[in-house]
Amino acid sequence: MKKNILIYLTFIGLTALFTGCEKDGEIVTILPNPKAPTLQAMPNLSLSRTNGTQVLEFVGTPVDPGFAASVTYYLEACAAGTDFADPVTVWTGTQAKSMKITVSDLNGILLKKFPADATTSVDFRIRGVLVVDAGTGAPGTGTNPFAYMSTPVNASVTLYGLPRLDLIGSGIDQKIESALGDGKYTGLVKLDMTMPFTLLDPDSNTSYGASGAALAVNGEGIDAPTDGWHRLNVDVNAMTFDVSEYRIGLIGSATPNEWNTPDQPMEYNPATGTWSITIDLIAGDIKFRLNNGWAWNLGYNKSNTGNLNDLFHDGNNIAVTAGNYTITLTITQPNGPNEAGSCTIVKNN
């Protein structure tokens, strides 16, 4: 926490950033000891597939810096005793009082970090990121935001393993899973148009394939519509399936195609749930898009420019200098038009 900081914001020539602080020369004072958020109440975290649609609520209190401020909150989890050296983001939003998530969504997120069908000791905290202004480089600005963390709360977390269908014949080991165990499976899979695939339920040893546009037991191989990453949905109750392109790419004046399609394709890692690319860039801007279109895109949060942990729908361009980079994207809110995420940009040379 940053203490004993007095920030004077004069708004001559600057955009007003806080409601009620728009007069020239008005002083905004941060408390000598701003009150950090607190994590006050936790739900029962013995998760079960039968309760997959149940909504869990984490209850907290907000940051109090001494004035009305815009804060982005992150509910984070890590292995007990690791001091959040490698946390996973469970929830993100602009308030900390009521953080809600379904059992199935929480289970899916935590499975990226913790084992299934086991009980693990996990620390949770709320991290509040406060940006006072942008562009000056001073403490509290977009490139150097204030961050306030709650005291960690420990909980025993029991996760459930997911029923799965294995892809047979796709060329790589991959699977789709049923978050609720209700016969509906979904997942991201990498497909090759030259390699039709079938699906195997390893629990019942049942094989599924295509019969025209429908799903069938012992059916024919399912053809990929294009090469690359797709979302595959299967319902073994209704005997239906659909395959749709799901391609996260990098676009911008810094990329080889600049602002033109096709975007530079990123690779998905099912184990970590992240997208990554290593690429040579020139000085310019980048953004992330889905399926070469602008309906779903991520850039800097317009009120929080400079924070790579806070990417929002239709955000500002991300500036880079020339060099070779490894860029990793974590999508925290996948559904548009409220998609959100975070990324790391590592310059290799």
Tens of pLDDT along 226-275?
999 999 999 999 999 999 999 999 999 999 999 999 999 999 999 889 99
User: Is 50 exceeded by the pLDDT of residue 10?
Assistant: no
User: Is 70 exceeded by the pLDDT of residue 304?
Assistant: yes
Q: Is residue 331 a contact partner of residue 321, using CB atoms and an 8 Å limit?
A: no
| Three-state SS letters, 12-70 | CCCCCCCCCCCCCCCEEECCCCCECCEEEECCCCECCHHHCCCEEEEEEECCECCCCCC
Structure tokens at 91: 């929830």
DSSP alpha helices (H): ranges in the chain? 103-110
Q: What is the mean pLDDT of residues 109-135?
A: 87
User: Is 70 exceeded by the pLDDT of residue 142?
Assistant: no
State percent of the chain over pLDDT 90. 74
State percent of the chain over pLDDT 70. 88
* Residue 310 buriedness (CB in 10 A; 0-12 / 13-18 / 19+): buried
Q: Report pTM.
A: 0.71
Radius of gyration of the chain (CA): 23
What pLDDT is stored for residue 229 in this prediction? Answer: 98
Domains observed in the chain: 6-159 (2.60.40.10), 164-245 (2.60.40.3620), 248-347 (2.60.40)
Structure tokens at 230: 């797709």
- Cα angle 277, 282, 288 (rounded to 5 degrees) comes to 40
Sign, Cα dihedral of 265, 196, 187, 159: negative
What pLDDT is stored for residue 185 in this prediction? Answer: 98
